[in-house]
Amino acid sequence: MSAGVDGHLTDADLAARFQRDPELFTAVYDRHYRDVYRYVAGRLDVHAGEDVAAETFLTAFAKRDRFDPGRGELRPWLFGIATNLVARHRRAEARHYRALAAVPEPADAGHENHVVASVAAQRMRPELAAALTGLSRGERDVVLLVALGQLTHEEVAQALGISYGTVGSRLNRARKKLNEAIDREAFHG
């Protein structure tokens, strides 16, 4: 058995052992819940994020005997499950983005206590949310797995069961669409 730098089992060791010893799945949860939650909450909202993140780990635990380390690592597998669960909540996700797009700029956006970057991000939120609704599901999944989940292109490919090249092409198309939509909003807004 190999151990990570901190003396704990590596993900590969956990995957090899949690099928025989279900109690070890707790370590998977402890290690990856926060990242999965952040990704899902960013796609949906805080409350749905909690529910879907929990459902992700319940699903993963129930399917732990089907995990194949030869097809990829634990992290992309978990994000793949989360992405599929988010797809079930797509209508809520679309409503969430439409609501964000409709939110007016805060009146105190120029207040001296706000950092310039924070103000810029707050001002861009409606345009970004509106632009995200214009992406295809596949493009949106890739963009948000990279941006919110902080997955590598290889991990995104594993999570979605698509090729590395498809990740790159979807990401490029999405970036182009997002830039065009945001530029259009900035020019006309």
Burial 101-122 (b: 16+ CB within 10 A, else e): beeeeeeeeeeeeeeeeebeee
Mean pLDDT per 10-residue section of the chain, whose length is 189 residues: 58 85 91 95 86 95 88 92 87 64 52 41 63 87 90 94 94 89 66
Domain boundaries, the chain: 11-188
> Which tokens sit at 7?
């003396």
pTM over 0.95: no
182 Cβ neighbours under 8 A, 6+ residues apart: 124, 127, 128, 131
According to the model, what pLDDT value does residue 91 have?
Answer: 64
